[in-house]
Copies of this chain bind each other. A is one copy, B any other.
Amino acid sequence: MEGGQGSLKIAGPTIERTNFMEKTGNDTVKLALDEVKPLAEEALKRAGCNDENASAVAECIYQAERHGAHSHGLFRMPGYLASLNSGKVNGKASPKVSVSRPSVLSVDGDGGYAPLAHQHLAKPLADLAKQQGVAIGALTNTFHFAALWQEVELLAHEGVAAIACTAFKPALPPAGGTKPLYGTNPVAFAWPREGAEPMVFDQASAVMARGEVMIAAREGHTLPEGVGIGPDGNPTTDPNEILKGALLPFGGYKGASIALMVELLAGAMIGEQMSFEAAATDNNDGGPPRGGEFILAIAPGGAGPFNAAEQLFEQILTQDGTRLPGDGRRQKRASVAAAGVEIPNALYEKIAAI
């Protein structure tokens, strides 16, 4: 967020709001946080989204930037736009929620991006879980390109605990292998708290999320040992080699087990593509492949579980150096809001040029 207070960066012909932007002197553009959602929303609409879809995706991007999660923020916009432009993703999707089994809500995403489906799903899924004790949200025919903490947090705000997972395209080898087969396959978990924001974690099955590796490649950084292997199967610290080879699962074979479970739950179990199938059918336009998401909502049943959990959270926080998952992200809100969001000129121009 350093850099001079130079003249405003030109915004291109299609985007009006440039008044908060400033050129930083580092080939980057700085936006006020409030500029993020309108910038994304406008571009998504121009690429073919209707209001509802554009707003849902732009809100996701805004929330990512607001919490310092840049790899899921505006950095993803070129991918979102590319898949609308190629016709792969339906920008006017109307997700349909239906009860397919007594404790399962199936959601046909209508070929659109996942965030609108999440908005449609959260309340009915939480209600079903409260009635049944547990419920699955099985999301198919959708395109997921965002961080999963957002959907589990939506559910926690409805008063249920939630687990979500999704596959993508092959990035991780199976245990013992060297060729990508599983996606980075994130798993997110949220636990509601009374009088506080939910406890939330969201972690890729890879040591490092692919988005982070892409940013390192873009910025020319090397990565620590253990993040990935090159196309020859040997360890490397070069993000470009890793993107051509394979990321590695966290914790060795144990992370690979989790990635395998995610393939089965978010793919085979709900009748959607697994990562290797997505790779075979995707048009590689830079956006996400079609896939599914497995979401589990668990209703604690009364205040007991919440109260008991608070005692564990207290125990965590009595130790030096700890915090609850999700709180680190939230602590970034103030500084991001104050400093704004800095993105490369080239990225800004891609978004604004549409």
Contacts and interface: CB of A to CB of B under 8 A. Distances in A.
Most buried by B among A100, A101, A277: A101
A173 interface: yes
B305 A271 contact: yes
Given A267-B308, A305-B271, A103 B135 contact: yes
Interface string A276-314: 110000000000000000001011110011101101100
A173 B322 CA distance: 10
Given A161-B269, A274-B312, A309-B268, A101 B177 contact: no
A264 interface: yes
A66 to B, nearest CB: 22
Most buried by B among A133, A177, A257, A299: A133
Nearest to A309: B268
A311 B181 CA distance: 12
A291 to B, nearest CB: 13
Contact of A308 (B102, B133, B268): B268
Interface string A101-115: 111100000000000
A238 interface: no
Interface string A315-348: 1100111110100000000000000000000000
A198 to B, nearest CB: 12
Interface stretch (A43-51, A89-97, A246-254): A246-254
B264 A177 contact: no
Contacts of A181: 312, 315-316, 319
B102 A263 contact: no
Contact of A175 (B136, B254, B296, B322): B322
A242 to B, nearest CB: 17
Contacts of A323: 176
Contacts of A173: 319
Interface string A206-242: 0100000000000000000000000000000000000
Contacts of A133: 100-104, 136
B312 A264 contact: yes
A119 interface: no
B100 A308 contact: no
A15 interface: no
A143 interface: no
A257 B201 contact: yes
A174 interface: yes
A178 interface: yes
Nearest to A310: B268
Contacts of A260: 201, 312, 316, 325
A18 interface: no
**Minimum-distance CB pairs A-B, first 10:** A251-B251, A101-B133, A250-B251, A177-B319, A104-B133, A268-B308, A176-B321, A103-B132, A176-B322, A268-B309
Interface of A: 100-104, 131-136, 161, 163, 173-179, 181, 189, 191, 201, 203, 207, 249-252, 254-255, 257, 260-261, 263-265, 267-271, 274, 276-277, 296, 298-301, 304-306, 308-309, 311-312, 315-316, 319-323, 325
16 contacts: A101-B134, A102-B133, A104-B134, A161-B269, A175-B325, A177-B319, A177-B322, A178-B321, A181-B315, A201-B260, A250-B250, A250-B255, A264-B312, A268-B309, A270-B305, A277-B311
